[in-house]
Structures are given as C-alpha cells and as structure tokens.
Amino acid sequence: MRAGGRLWSSAGMTTVYDFSARGLDGADVALEHYRGQVLLVVNTASQCGFTKQYAGLETLYENLKDRGFSVLGFPCNQFGGQEPGDAAEIASFCTLNYGVRFPMFDKIDVNGAAAHPLYQWLKGEAKGLLGSEAIKWNFTKFLIDRAGHVVDRFAPTTEPSAIRDRIEALLDKS
C-alpha cells in the first residue's frame, strides 16, 4: 500500500523494521536497513528553540555509530511552522550549521490524519506525558532497541547527552 508516497502495510507492524520512509534525496528507505542497530528516532526542525540539539544528536551518532547506533531525523513543520524548507534546504541547513551526517528523511507529519505510519506506531508504543500519544513539539525522541522495539520516549527538553547512558546500555546488550 502507498500512503503519502511511502510504502507500508498495516498488517503485522510490530517493529521499526516494518516501515519505510523517503530520504531527503527522494529515495524510499526501508528501515529494515537499520536492523540490529540501536536507533534514536527524532522529529526535527531548523527554526526551533531546540534546533541546537542537532549538535548533540550528531555527537551521539559520531561517537556511537561504530557500535551499532544511528540517529534517524524526521523533519516536521507541524509546530509553529519551524521547518518551512524543502528537502534540499533542510539538507543544506543541517550539513552547514551542524555537520549532520546521520540519516535525515523527508519532511513528514507526526500528528493528525496524515501522520506518517512510523509515527502512528511510535506514539502507540510509547505514550507521552499523562499517557498522551500526540507529539507535543519538535525534538521528541524515541529510543529503539536492536530488536526494533520502542523502549522509551523522551521530551523535546531532554538533551541528547542525557540519553547516552540509556543508549550505551542497549548497545552493550547482544
């Protein structure tokens, strides 16, 4: 089935590996590509008060990628119009301002009827404050274990460095 230009099937979606998303280069990327890795999935924006977290996310990625870790960035313009650019502008901004080398995907919705299927699943797997599912703002983070299961959800105010110990604990598990 194709939804919003993304390939997906609603049957048996139990891990992150059952989803695909379009990369900033326009190519469909099966998240199966990241099987066996610990992942931090983040909705991002270039003009947000938390945008400086790109630096911390890149540091985590660079320091831990050789151990089987990746950050997956999903730009979103649903919060205050803070990601107005197209794919080329987003890629340029992330590279020039923060040296981002972790995988970035095409802009998506994370809430509402048009929410990307990945985010529909993530929100159901790890509820937010007071059991809410909705993403409240940019830079909400979901930590995924090597088996593709959501193990935690972190608020936008949580700095990437504050998650490092949790990530390393998952990396140390085989």
Tokens of 153: 């959800």
Pairing type for strands 38-44 and 69-75 reads: parallel
Q: Is 73 helix (H, G, I), strand (E, B) or coil?
A: strand
Contact, 60 vs 70, CB < 8 A?
no
- Note if 94 is an active site residue: no
One-letter amino acid for residue 78 of the chain: Q
User: What backbone torsions phi and psi does residue 99 show, to the nearest 5 degrees?
Assistant: 60, 30
CB 77 within 8 A of CB 86: no
Q: What is the enclosing helix (H) or strand (E) of 69?
A: strand 69-75
Q: Which of 48, 108, 144, 167 is catalytic?
A: 48
Q: What's at 80, amino acid-wise? A: G
154-167 residues labelled b (16+ CB within 10 A) or e (exposed) = bebebbbeebbeeb
Catalytic residues: 48
